[in-house]
Structure 1
Amino acid sequence: MGVSMSDQLRRAISELMPEIIDELKAMVAIPSVAFPAFPSEPVLAMANRAVDAFARYGVSAHLEEIPGGYPAVWAEIAGPPGALTVLLYGHYDVQPAPTEGWHSDPWVPTERDGRIFGRGAADDKSGIAIHLATLAAFEGRPPVNVKLVLEGEEETVSHLEAFVAAHPERFAADVMLIADMGNLTVGEPVLSVGLRGHVKAIVEVETLDDPVHSGLFGGAAPDALMALIKLLAKVSDDHGSSAIPGIGNFEWQGADYSEQMLRANAGVLEGVDLVGSGPIASRLWSRPAISVLGIDAPSVDEGGNVLQPRARAVVALRIPPGQDPDDAMGKLVAFLEQNVPWHAKVTVTPNKKSPAFSQGTDGVAFAAMREALAEAYGTDVGQVGSGGSIPLLDELRKASPAADFVLIGAEDAELSRIHGPNESVDPSEIEHMALAQALLLTKLGQG
């Protein structure tokens, strides 16, 4: 009896994994932080490293210049005549990594407890590793047409979004395969079907011409910092849920997220209550959430006995799938303007909008990936959402309105700790996801 294609791919990817993990470690060692205040050399070094890595497995990638930003890693591979086109997406930039809280150097990939630790090990250089292993399993000749795009600014202000909007034909595809997500728990496969969006506004409150003595004038003259605090206290109710009116929400119908898992994953201190109400999955994936991301005010060490003339903060509202970001921004701005106390002067400046995203579950590629994941992992596949956002997905959908989106990845929610200290990835997740992705391409190649 001959060896099935599934067995061939499983064996090929298993044999490739030591090389793929070495590639991942080399990428993790490059501090490719694309934030404006960070040096550009590591970011460009990472882009070139990715180009070289794919070239070693027969994929002719190059750097595609993106006006105003860092280049994308781009490749196009022609499949058999009449084959479907699949776009593989990931990103090579990472979050900054302050050393506080890390158990090892964030830029030195370290193996511990069966995982690889380092900034970007999960988010999203594991996604690059998945694509690399997938294409390597086919020796650079997949059974479908492939467009590979690795973004260099997903973690900061993306210039790729405008590039996609200006050149939609270059990103046209039948299937968009996004490797920047993950399972809730290692070994339990899920497909992500919804991502919350994000709107942010900067609110500034003014009450006085200049700072004045808190003893001479406190109790009568309005303090801007206190006015700001009172305003910010109104953006959530007593349960911690968003109090901004008119924002959509719904109950999550897929896999749930246990309170125990949330407390462990978020590091909630013992005895501290969770915020919001209802199922955890709904609070995280299908309801709005409000937060204050920063305040400009004197520090505790520098605070003098004065009333502050002005203070400002950045307020962020996560919005569920189906909520229009322009409408949400308008409601957030209006709420902040209308609820400032004491007729203080208030200026609210919209800062950033990232649309929510929802994925239908009746597409051919979605169904094929559910089968592929079940085959790769040997277990049933769940459906989850994400509280985060990937703004580029909205532009990709505009480029190919009929495309089927498939969102997967190796960033498990339980232990990966993306964006925080001790970020890590389980290599088995990369292997299983690469196998599932290769099986999907095979199924699509068979029509």
Structure 2
Amino acid sequence: MSELVQKVRDVLPSVRADLEDLVRIESVWADPARRGEVQRSAEAVSKLFSEAGFGDVRIVSEGGAPAVIARHPAPPGAPTVLLYAHHDVQPEGDRGQWESAPFEPTERDGRLYGRGTADDKAGIATHLAAIRAFAGRPPVGVTVFVEGEEESGSPSLGALLAAHKELLAADVIVIADSDNWSTEQPSLTVSLRGLADCVVEVATLDHGLHSGMWGGVVPDALSALVRLLASLHDDEGNVAVAGLHEATAADVEFPAERVRADTGVLDGVTEIGSGSTAQRLWAKPAITVIGIDTTPIASASNTLIPRARAKVSMRVAPGGDAAAHLAALTSHLEAHAPWGAQVTVTPGDLGEPYAIDATGPVYDAARAAFREAWAAEPVDTGVGGSIPFIAEFAAAFPDAKILVTGVEDPNTQAHSINESLHLGVLERAATAETLLLEALGRS
């Protein structure tokens, strides 16, 4: 095993160089102007795995972003492992807030900064390192599946899985798109919340009115919307929508000091909700207002606003049903309209939560690989965010064992400015995956 670990270290410089080249490609599928960059990214990923020794590499699309499927056949009697990552990235936001250019990978203090350095082009790098460590001849069958629209909710994933089910069929699925407990301790993700969102519009007038002439008599839509949104939580910050599911979180210690350190909560701001941090973060529903459409301040006048809209995002606890939760949220919004305001709810995206029974030989092998690569005991954790495609994989391949791993850590700042990858975590994650493939080949 020590020889295999050394081989991972030997290939990491070339893997890092290829990762940096991928980061320089602005593969933001959510931006129509950069769809060509997403195609260029898929072509670059395809080339990397072709050069790594995969004989069957193809770029596929089923009405959405281009994805890459690369296949290495299993030796006789060996299982097939599907290695998942995605090559699309989040928009970079305000470039002026980045300490270095978002699409120019830059190392500072052992971290590689840039959009997609961690989420999730480092997942591609992890798979590439494992394949190169075996000189392109892994002891198991390997199918690499690199999606191109995960950051947009994977809308065409179901069509991809249906159209290429035989190509993607596997005994074990490794999804490298999650977090680690710290830069020194790995995590195996065993539960994920789902997602349901909607746009709520409040109307109180058929046209704007002078606020001096009618203020205090006629309600404006924005004030009504604010009161309606405030009804979504009680005074402690718990979700106040009736009929929502609550699960049980993994039993881990999550001190308040870590919450403040990991999130950047401002002085004087308190946590919301009741129960342990793990319970609130991984096993209870959460509701967030993520956007409002109304008159911007620069354009404001003394006018009662007739209409206002907000986008409301809900996280669904494992074991809950996303569609049922969206129906409960819709009913709450319609029932709590203040002052008789007209409320219209437009449903948005749905993503199912998922809980993994992480017991059995495959998970034992994964934990052993983590221990050797990290020299630390792995932690079973949940994820507060959503990776809805995991439920789709589980439905498409019900007999496969699913391992959710990753290269992120609490300081990664995925989706935010100054996203970064801890280079030590990349090495340990690549080593763990390589050791896992070796163990699965022996078994």
Q: TM-score, normalised by structure 1?
A: 0.96
Contact 1:126 1:410 in 2 (8 A): yes
Which runs of structure 2 are paired with 1:190-339 in the superposition (5 Å)?
190-339=187-336
Counterpart CA distance in 1 for 2:127 and 2:52 is 11
1:433 paired residue number: 429
Question: In structure 2, what is the equivalent of residue 11 of structure 1?
Answer: 6
> Are 2:46 and 2:59, in contact at CA under 8 Å, matched by a contact in 1?
no
Q: CA deviation at 1:49?
A: 1.2
Query: 2-side partners of 1:173 and 1:244: how far apart?
Result: 40
Is 1:28–2:35 an aligned residue pair?
no
Determine what percentage of the aligned residue pairs are the same residue. 43
* Root-mean-square deviation over aligned CA pairs: 1.4
Pair 1:104-2:118 in alignment: no
Specify the alignment match of 2:183 in structure 1: 186
Distance 2:249 2:34 in 1: 42
1:190-219, Cα deviation, whole Å (9 max, x unpaired): 111011111001111111110011111111
Paired residues in the alignment total 441
**Equivalent residue, structure 1, for 2:402:** 405
CA offset digits 1:77-96 (Å, max 9, x no partner): 11211211111000000001
For residues 240 and 298 of structure 1, the distance between their equivalents in structure 2, rounded to whole angstroms, comes to 27
Which residue does 2:33 correspond to in 1?
38
Shift of 1:245: 1.3
Contact 2:195 2:388 in 1 (8 A): no
Flag the 1:61–1:34 CA change in 2: closer, same or farther, 3 A. Answer: farther
C-alpha separation between the residues in 2 aligned to 1:108 and 1:285? 34
Deviations 1:376-427 (A, max 9, x none): 11121111111111121111111111211111111112x1110111111111
Query: How far apart are 1:48 and its partner, in Å?
Result: 1.2
The answer on whether the counterparts of 1:236 and 1:243 sit within 8 Å (CA) in structure 2 is yes
How far has the Cα of 1:36 moved from its partner?
A: 4.0
Change in 2 beyond 3 A, CA 1:46/1:61: farther
> Once the 2 structures are TM-superposed, how far is the Cα of residue 270 of structure 1 from its aligned partner?
1.3
Secondary structure of the equivalent of 2:152?
coil
Q: Which runs of 5+ in 1 are unaligned?
A: 1-5
| Partner amino acid, structure 1, of 2:105 | P
How far is 1:243 from its partner?
1.1
Other-structure match for 2:67:
72
Match of 2:46 in 1: 51
In 1, the alpha carbon distance for the partners of 2:441 and 2:237 equals 49
> 1:122-170, CA deviations, whole angstroms, 9 ceiling, x for partnerless residues?
1001100000001111111111111110000000142123321454333
Alpha carbons 1:66, 1:160 under 8 Å: kept: no
Residue 392 in structure 1 maps to residue 395 in structure 2 = no
Which residue is 1:117 aligned to? Answer: 113
Asked if structure 1 preserves the Cα contact closer than 8 Å seen for 2:26 and 2:34, the reply is no
Contact 1:196 1:321 in 2 (8 A): yes
Asked if 1 retains the 8 angstrom alpha-carbon contact of 2:247 and 2:318, the reply is no
- Which of 337, 356, 360 is the equivalent residue of 2:357? 360
Task: Determine the structure 1 residue equivalent to 2:76.
Answer: 81
Give a deviation string over 1:53-83, Cα, whole Å, max 9, x none: 2223212453432122111111111121121
Q: Helix, strand or coil for the counterpart of 1:39?
A: helix
Equivalent residue of 2:213, what SS?
Answer: helix
Q: Distance in 1 between matches of 2:324 and 2:200?
A: 18
Asked whether the equivalents of residues 319 and 354 of structure 2 are also in contact (C-alpha less than 8 Å), the reply is yes
Which shows bigger deviation, 155-164 or 368-377?
155-164
1:194 partner amino acid: S
Contact kept, 8 Å, 2:73 with 2:142, in 1: the verdict is yes
- CA–CA distance in structure 2, aligned partners of residues 18 and 120 of structure 1: 18
Q: What 5-or-longer segments of structure 2 have no aligned partner?
A: none
Instruction: Give the distance between the partners of 1:44 and 1:227, measured in 2 at CA.
Output: 45
Q: For the residues of structure 2 that align with 1:408 and 1:88, how far apart are their CA atoms?
A: 11
Give the TM-score normalised by structure 2.
0.97
Structure-2 separation of matches of 1:123 and 1:61: 26
